[in-house]
Chain A
Amino acid sequence: MNLQFFGSSSRQLFGAYRPPANGLPSRGAALLCPPWGQEYLVSHRIFRRLAVRLSESGYHVLRFDYYGTGDSAGEREEGDLQSWLGDALVALEELRDISGCQTVATFGIRLGAIVAWQLACTRSDVHSTVLWDPVVDGSEYVRELVKAQAEVDRWLLTPVRHESSPDRAQDLLGFPLTVAMRRSIEAVTPDIFLHRTAAHVKLFYSDALPGQEKSHDAFHAAGTPFHAETIRGQTPWREDESIGAGGLPVLVLERMVEILR
């Protein structure tokens, strides 16, 4: 595994690249797009495991952090889904450059799935996109975060001084949700799937999601073939007791690797 910074000097991004394991012949390249906030933290271990499994299947894999997240440069308050897409495009170019592959599969979890999908819509070199529990109802997603924070606050004996006003970042489950990020998330609706892509679309669900049916309707309306399956079990981003790193949903990971073959 090669850990590296890439991108422009003013917008350094962090990435972890794995070539095909044990000198296996290349089967292609995969770009992993992480989610936001607490979901980013719990998905780190999952993505690392997915990268290992894909590498063992012959894939070149690049995990990366958007600007303002993880090890990349920037502050937590910087970034929204549009700028994340820009970062993902840089990461995609980086992966193509390192691997020598002409086409790429994109993977995304939660909000990262929206980025992975947008890559599939904007780039003809994305041949497959694998979306796990995509956030397709952005407003509902933000409402859930606010509700979850209120539940945390309810039990506090000495309330935390959250910064909360319409024109400033709002602390939600440990991360500041800025106005720009909030607006970009709230703009996400199932209609994003009305955009047609030539990439193979694979959807994985841990449970029924808000907007799931409407998403499928949008795929049908756009004439985009897709494969969807639900694998119930561990949903790391819905754990009752947060320890900042969820369990490993092995079944889902194995199925993702299998379906890409």
Chain B
Amino acid sequence: MNSGIRERVVRFGAGNGLAGILSTSRDAPPGLPFVVIVNAGIIHRVGPNRLYVDVARAVAALGYPVLRFDLAGLGDSEATRTEASLLESALLDVNTAFDYLASTHGATAFLAFGLCSGANYALLTAFREPRVIGVLVIDPTVTRTRRSVMVHYARRLRNLSTLRSMLTLSHPKFLQRIERLRSLAVARAAQGQSGQNAEPPREKVTAEDSRRSLEQLIARGTQLMFVFTGGVNHVYNYRNQLYDLLPGFDFRGRLRLDYMPDTDHTVSDGRGRRQLIDSVSEWLAQSFPRTGATDTAVSAIVEPPRAVVGRVGDSP
């Protein structure tokens, strides 16, 4: 670990039930935004293959304080009894983390970071919470485009393992789906017997909802960094798919889009991880420069640095 980094355990929330690690630099200028990292799936705060630890330390070394913590019921955080849905509970926990950092460290601005479900939580938090001035997400949920469907099946058909397994009905995804259907049938049968609904209905988020929320984020001056990896190439498989999903959307130069087709969903390979950390560091330095702290960071949002924005080259 970088010798200039200090890490300490923090407890906060009701009954100090939420637990996390706060990484700070010994010579950080005051006023930089705090980065808050949200769990990916049910993996505890170290992140998938320790990705969150690596990112937190690299970012803290640049001067940005970083909190990676466990949502209630995950890792070392206590589960809470609540009527709230899983989603609402998670968003509440992230807000609680912001409040904790505000009251104990004087934090006024935050960057929300997450991978996969953590990316979705980070985005949803930003939609609601004006204190979020930047969002950094890896593989958030997106939908396919006609082109991405064609790219996917074209690649699949060129893959010998896929062809062989299709003929023998032994493709792992096919077997997993069969197993899921079997489990679902068992769960439904149990549900029928108990008369209880095992899973509450999910709230539907439409493409129009997402577009409107993103527009509000951009209008607010929030800086965005989206990263898509090869781990989700069944859904996202060419560099500018995000732009095709939002035709005519004006990011006003506040989006950095990185496409990393040759790393996996959790950026587990050493080379991919170094590349990600370099990109994140670059985005932070350009969007939220060290000099001048939060005031400068806010003004940087109003006048975004042109170097990090714009549509990148379109090559699948």
Contacts and interface: CB of A to CB of B under 8 A. Distances in A.
A193 B19 CA distance: 39
B9 A3 contact: yes
Interface stretch (B188-196, B244-252, B257-265, B280-288): B257-265
B46 interface: yes
Interface in A149-182: 154-163, 169, 171, 173-176
A70 B268 contact: no
B271 A155 contact: no
A241 B200 CA distance: 24
Contact of B230 (A4, A5, A154, A158): A158
A107 B266 CA distance: 29
A160 B7 contact: no
Contacts of A44: 44, 75
Nearest to A76: B50
B8 A158 contact: no
A100 interface: no
B261 to A, nearest CB: 5
Contacts of B179: 240
Contact of B155 (A4, A48, A157, A244): A157
Given A3-B19, A71-B46, A174-B48, A157 B159 contact: yes
B32 interface: no
B111 to A, nearest CB: 21
Interface in A27-47: 38, 41, 44-45
Nearest to B9: A3
Given A3-B11, A70-B46, A161-B271, A241 B176 contact: yes
B149 to A, nearest CB: 13
A169 B8 CA distance: 29
Contact of B233 (A48, A69, A158, A243): A158
A184 to B, nearest CB: 19
A160 B42 contact: no
A89 interface: no
B41 interface: yes
A145 interface: no
A12 B53 CA distance: 14
B44 A243 contact: no
A74 interface: yes
B261 A155 contact: no
Contacts of A163: 269-271
Nearest to A241: B176
B119 interface: no
A260 interface: no
A42 to B, nearest CB: 9
B85 interface: no
Contact of A176 (B176, B266, B270): B270
Given A71-B21, A155-B162, A161-B262, A245 B43 contact: yes
B26 interface: no
B156 interface: yes
Nearest to A9: B3
Contacts of B266: 174, 244
A24 B246 CA distance: 60
Contacts of A74: 1
Interface in A42-65: 44-45, 48
B76 interface: yes
A174 B264 CA distance: 9
B299 interface: no
**Which 6 A-B pairs rank lowest in CB-CB distance, beginning with the nearest?**
A174-B49, A174-B268, A244-B43, A158-B230, A157-B155, A73-B1
12 contacts: A41-B44, A45-B42, A45-B44, A74-B1, A76-B50, A158-B230, A161-B272, A163-B269, A174-B266, A175-B49, A175-B268, A245-B41
Interface of B: 1, 7-9, 11, 19, 21, 40-46, 48-50, 53-54, 75-76, 152, 155-156, 159, 161-162, 172, 175-176, 179, 230, 233-234, 237, 261-264, 266, 268-272
